[in-house]
Amino acid sequence: MKSDSFYYAVIFSSQRNSSDCAGYEQMAERMVELAKIQKGFLGMESSRGSDGFGITVSYWQTLEDISAWKSNSEHKIAQEFGRSKWYESFSTRVCKVEREYGVGK
Amino acid sequence: MKSDSFYYAVIFSSQRNSSDCAGYEQMAERMVELAKIQKGFLGMESSRGSDGFGITVSYWQTLEDISAWKSNSEHKIAQEFGRSKWYESFSTRVCKVEREYGVGK
């Protein structure tokens, strides 16, 4: 997941409403597949609890890669659906990863 | 959640095993309470799916605040329990939040 020097994380937090679960799942899976083939994509991890609150973190090589992904036309449609239909609230934070540590990965 | 200029995020991703759920829940709740009263704490969000994979992001004013929290004696005991008993794997990333946007918060 690491690039040579540093890399970036996009923290996307969202509260799902209860509408259109099938449509949401389908779009979410498609966005994962689409993100994976974007330039600079390094990885992604995601969780959502039974209360509908979820966090997805995607990792990218550069800020430009993140901007390009944000502007991707299919992704923009998904964002619009999310805003108008699927999310009660959401927030996005773009971060520079300064250091990391962990086990078992 | 925002400080005056910039702030930091700690992304903690973990895969729970299935052992000692009651003990884990109790410790997790205690750590949230303890984090909240630490210097520089700005907020926290957390989710865990039915597959046991979870992401917790905590937000802090400075890197020093994050180091102090990491070294907190009660937190260190919780970390040791997590490592030896509760987590199949985990990773921690310390990040600088570069920008944010969102709705409904």
CATH number at residue B62: 3.30.70.100
Higher pLDDT, A103 or B37: B37
Q: What is the pLDDT of residues B73-92, one digit of tens each?
A: 999 999 999 999 999 999 99
- Mean pLDDT score across all residues of chain B: 92
| Residue pair B54/B25 in contact by the 8 Å Cβ criterion | no
ipTM: 0.91
Q: Name which of B2, B8, B42, B55 to mutate to probe chain A: the one with the most chain A Cβ atoms within 10 A of its Cβ.
A: B55
Give domain status of residue A103, yes or no.
no
Residue A75's nearest CA partner among A105, A22, A26, A32 is: A32
Residue B72's nearest CA partner among B38, B24, B98, B30 is: B38
CB-defined contacts A:B, below 8 A: 109
Say how many domains are in chain A.
1
User: Domain span at residue B59?
Assistant: 7-97
Q: What is the pLDDT of residues A39-87, one digit of tens each?
A: 999 999 999 999 999 999 999 999 999 999 999 999 999 999 999 999 9
Give domain status of residue A1, yes or no.
no
Full-model pTM: 0.92
DSSP character string of A48-74 = E-TTSEEEEEEEES-HHHHHHHHH-HH
Instruction: Determine, for residues B103 and A96 on separate chains, whether the beta-carbon distance falls below 8 Å.
Output: no
Give domain status of residue B79, yes or no.
yes
Distance (Å) of CA B13 to CA A65, A80, B17: 23, 28, 13
